[in-house]
Amino acid sequence: MAARSSPRIVTVGETMALLGTPDHCLLRPGTGPTLTIGGAESNVAIAAARVGVASAWIGRLGDDDLGSLIERELLGQGVHVAAARDADAPTGLMLKEHRHGVPTRVRYYRAGSAGSRLSADDLDPDLLGGAEIVHLTGITAALSGSARSALRRAIELGRAGGAAISFDVNYRATLWTPEAAAPVLRDLATAADIVFAGPEEAALLLGGDPDPAAHPYPWARAEEQARRIAALGPRTVVLKLGALGALALADGAVHRHAIVPIEPVDPVGAGDAFVGAFLAELADRRPLHACLAAGARMGALVCAVRGDWEGTLDWAAPDGPPADVRR
């Protein structure tokens, strides 16, 4: 785990309490749900900390027990926490429903949450100004106008301190329509140095997918999407391609990496884990192939167990990451 030094990677967003139902989604007296935490940006911060790079999470929590749980858990995972406590709004909640031990649906209870009320006033200028990488996502942009203002201000503060701006599109159809999301996400991607996206998210940024018949080979199609996103302004574009692997484009060069084979249990959070490990290696000036390898490994670890981030705890296990990504 990272030493508690000045955070090099700083994330901004909402973290929620996470309840997991027993199998078959049946809640009965005496068979209570599991309780943990989850949130795209804090998942990234946890993964970066596990790789060995000091990280921080900035957000807004309710002045309640769930907010205290989130703060304690993140601190316990080596993540610096800078979270305002809101006396008038609760900490958000998500519920994972399971069947046969596998999550089948995630429900969110975040309307009016403290996290949705995130604003520029909640930001820590010293943390953002001292960061090497500031990481943001499209989820936060979807929460409210004040949250979008917070992201824009985070970019300004990070840039002023010389940080690279990282942006994961993370489009959520349950939060806003493609028509509402596309221009906001495109503006954020244009302002970023590093952009992460899936194929559908890349298409959303680009205003429509190219004709699949013209690009029957998936890698070639992904490369075209990456080059078109890079034309918006980012120096580095990383496409997370599911079972195919991942592709990164930087300085005109394309790098590819296959997935790490595992038996998937819970895919939620795997993309965030990929990003956290990738950014940690990037902060340490590791070559792009090592960043992709670390991301693939960390994503696989998270996907192989229940929970949004708990698989990151296996990073330093005896049968841990391959030699090319080990610290």
Residues recognised as catalytic:
272
Instruction: Give how far the C-alpha of residue 71 lies from the chain's centroid of Cα atoms, to the nearest Å.
Output: 18
Query: How many whole angstroms separate alpha carbon 220 and alpha carbon 254?
Result: 11
Q: How many CA atoms lie within 13 A of 69 on its CB side?
A: 16
Handedness of CA 225, 227, 229, 235 (dihedral sign): positive
Output the CA torsion 217→220→226→227 (10° steps): -150
Contact criterion met (CB below 8 Å) for 38 and 66: no
Query: How many whole angstroms separate alpha carbon 289 and alpha carbon 107?
Result: 36
**DSSP line for 233-269:** S-SEEEEE-GGG-EEEEETTEEEEEPPPP---S--TT
Query: How many whole angstroms separate alpha carbon 137 and alpha carbon 210?
Result: 24
Question: Could you give the residue ranges of the DSSP H alpha helices within the chain?
Answer: 40-51, 65-76, 125-129, 138-143, 145-160, 178-191, 199-206, 218-230, 270-283, 288-303
Which amino acid, 120? A
Residue with tokens 């940080």: 163
Contacts for 146 with CB less than 8 Å, ≥ 6 apart: 117, 118, 119, 120
Query: Residue 29: is it exposed, middle or buried by C-beta count within 10 angstroms (0-12/13-18/19+)?
Result: exposed
